[in-house]
Structure 1
Amino acid sequence: MGAPEVNLWENVAQVEIFSDVEVPRKKRAVFAGNLSPHKVDFSLLEELLDSGIELVVAGPRGIDGSTELDGMRRVLDHPRCEYVGNLSIPELARVLPSCMVGLIPYQINDYTNGVFPMKVYEYLAAGLTVVTTPLPSLDQPINGLRIADANTFVDEVESALTGWDEYQSEASRKEAVGHSWTDRVRSANALIDGCAG
């Protein structure tokens, strides 16, 4: 009973647009995503800023109906934070490659236990090292991804910034290629051809 073979296709991203941009890279981290207090652990971002790390934040505020919390305001008003607003994909594709580390500073709760952040592949395609909190969806090894809990998050980001180099950047880009829409269409066509064959 049931299907003889199951194919799991996880999220993909428009990786080509992020890998094709050449801009000067700075020693800083970036968080891009919905600034939801139900999802983002703003205390982690505030700790990063207080430790001296430069941070770019991109994304909408309050689109889920939530109100801004003090933690979010402290992050966005921090002198080492550059809030660039809600960007289009082409605009974001110019911001990500100007950084070295992409952040997924999610709280661990019932909501995030079912989340797979597509930003992982956008960050990797831009040549970033990714530092994430321990989300269940990211428990498999991904080249260029580092997992850190709340106690080690700042240290892991500092280590990723210090250790960033072109070799790791290229490895991150290669990891993202297998999670592009181009690759997904290729896989879908192969599956259809196999069924029709």
Structure 2
Amino acid sequence: MLENFNIVIVAVQHWDIDIGSNCKSIARELSASNRVLYVNTPLDRKTSILKSGEPRVRHRMNVIRGKQDGLEQIDTSLWTYYPSVITESINMLPDNALYTKLNGLNNRRFAAEIRKATQRTGFDHFVLFNDSEMFLGQQLKELLSPLLSIYYIRDNLVWLPYFARHGKRLEPLLIEKSDLVVANSDYLADYARQYNADSYMIGQGCDVKRFDDNLWNYSIPDDVATIPHPRIGYLGNLTSMRLDIDLLQAVATRRPDWNIVLAGPEDADFRSSSLHSLANVFFCGPQPLEKVPACIKAFDVAINPQIVNPLTIGNYPLKIDEYLAMGKPVVATKTRAMDFFRKFTYLAKNATEYEACIEQAINEDCATLQEQRRNFARSHTWRHSVELLSQQALRLLEESGRSTIQNSRAHV
């Protein structure tokens, strides 16, 4: 395990986001035995104008104007920093010399802010951990000279419109120049390995304790409890970008004796789909976070009917961990990322295979299999993920002779 190092983290997700974040979880785990500085990316000029009334933007503007301190201590060995500069909004530019020049300017502004924060926190030498910041992080290795530069991939972001414009060129360059690349799925590790041989899958953590029904003895929600068995359930955002509506319709139509339970907010395609006309399909709406385990408990079989596209094919499916932590049999779309779960799930490529796998899952389910699933999910902790990261980082630090640099050690 990495211990007594200074670690600077930059990430596309800011510390003050409302939702959970892989990078924040990694930061907290690393801070248990290291000093960690989580540097938020600077406010960009377009956002500072168009969203000036939003609380987060007002906070950042107060930091820029010197009315608030951008450095905040979160815990004994964990700080977050909000930069006091604005970067130029350049994503709309074509991928040309002007973009490269302005992105270099943005990188230098960001690096200067990181140096300012490291000086204030006494981070003389540090490891740099970059969570998917492929634009503002493009030149940080050269500008900051970290002991080790680590690039972390947790989503196939370059297929999202915003990132695709420049990311399809820039992310491979950043992967290539990084000392170490870690990913949360086999698919993304395979992708990174095309450009950097030191690319590894480290999985990710899950708060499995929250899904321990033996501990909490959850009560099934009333609106789900009235639905007859067998209940074939999905819980999460119902969006056609990630889920296969046609597959769901085919399974529901072929098996009117099964009841398909879909819990979560719907996008326009789901709201207008013919699934709403089927008597054995039940939409339960968005579920509060505290009711998620209770809703999963109601399922006889949990499913993840992903549509396979560049955005979904490589994602680590956290909901699979949540399903398994509840002991549920799981049927999911077969992808490279799902290979990691293949011994504890049923994998299908189309509606016919989904139907067969669900049937098998119902017939085979037993207490022994349920406990095996729970044990597998329990092994997916953030500590384990950070241990895998640390193994590779320490190896490279030792090979480079940097693991014993005097001032690289922090005192936690």
User: TM bucket by the smaller chain?
Assistant: 0.7 to 0.9
Q: 1:5 to 1:128 in 2, by over 3 A?
A: same
Give, in angstroms, the shift of residue 176 of structure 1: 0.5
Partner in structure 1 of residue 365 of structure 2: 164
Gaps spanning 5+ residues in structure 2: where?
1-177, 181-196, 395-402, 404-408
For 1:109 and 1:187, how far apart are their aligned partners in 2?
Answer: 26
Give, in angstroms, the shift of residue 30 of structure 1: 0.8
Give, in angstroms, the shift of residue 187 of structure 1: 5.8
Give, in angstroms, the shift of residue 124 of structure 1: 0.2
For 1:28 and 1:58, how far apart are their aligned partners in 2?
Answer: 12
SS of residue in 1 equivalent to 2:296: helix
Query: Are the counterparts in 1 of residues 261 and 284 from structure 2 also a CA contact under 8 Å?
Result: yes
Q: How does 1:71-150 map to 2 (within 5 A)?
A: 73-150=273-350
Query: Are the counterparts in 1 of residues 302 and 323 from structure 2 also a CA contact under 8 Å?
Result: yes
Give, in angstroms, the shift of residue 96 of structure 1: 0.6
Q: Deviations over 1:40-70 (max 9, x none)?
A: 11122222222121121111112xxxx2257
Letter in 2 for 1:74: S
- Of 372, 377, 380, 1:176 maps to 377
For 2:306 and 2:274, how far apart are their aligned partners in 1?
Answer: 17
Letter in 1 for 2:326: A
Deviates more, 1:119-128 or 1:30-39: 30-39
Query: Are the counterparts in 2 of residues 40 and 107 from structure 1 also a CA contact under 8 Å?
Result: yes
Partner in structure 1 of residue 79 of structure 2: none
Partner in structure 2 of residue 54 of structure 1: 259
Partner in structure 2 of residue 40 of structure 1: 243
For 2:341 and 2:277, how far apart are their aligned partners in 1?
Answer: 35
Q: 1:112 to 1:188 in 2, by over 3 A?
A: closer
Q: Deviations over 1:106-139 (max 9, x none)?
A: 1112221232211000000011111111122112
For 1:69 and 1:171, how far apart are their aligned partners in 2?
Answer: 34
TM superposition score normalised by structure 2: 0.41
SS of residue in 1 equivalent to 2:273: helix
Query: Are the counterparts in 2 of residues 100 and 127 from structure 1 also a CA contact under 8 Å?
Result: no
Query: Are the counterparts in 2 of residues 105 and 132 from structure 1 also a CA contact under 8 Å?
Result: yes
Q: 1:112 to 1:6 in 2, by over 3 A?
A: closer
Partner in structure 1 of residue 211 of structure 2: 18
Larger Rg: 2
Q: 1:188 to 1:152 in 2, by over 3 A?
A: closer
Give, in angstroms, the shift of residue 105 of structure 1: 0.5
Looking at both structures, which has the greater relative contact order when contacts are Cα pairs under 8 Å and sequence separation is at least 6? Answer: 1
Give, in angstroms, the shift of residue 33 of structure 1: 1.6
Q: Which has the higher strand share?
A: 2
Partner in structure 2 of residue 185 of structure 1: 383
Query: Are the counterparts in 1 of residues 233 and 303 from structure 2 also a CA contact under 8 Å?
Result: yes
Gaps spanning 5+ residues in structure 1: where?
none
Say whether 1:9 aligns with 2:202: yes
Query: Are the counterparts in 1 of residues 328 and 373 from structure 2 also a CA contact under 8 Å?
Result: yes
Root mean square deviation of aligned Cα? 2.9
Query: Are the counterparts in 1 of residues 204 and 385 from structure 2 also a CA contact under 8 Å?
Result: no
SS of residue in 2 equivalent to 1:140: helix
SS of residue in 2 equivalent to 1:57: strand
Give, in angstroms, the shift of residue 27 of structure 1: 2.9
**Percent identity between the aligned chains?**
21
Letter in 1 for 2:300: M
Report how many residues are paired: 187
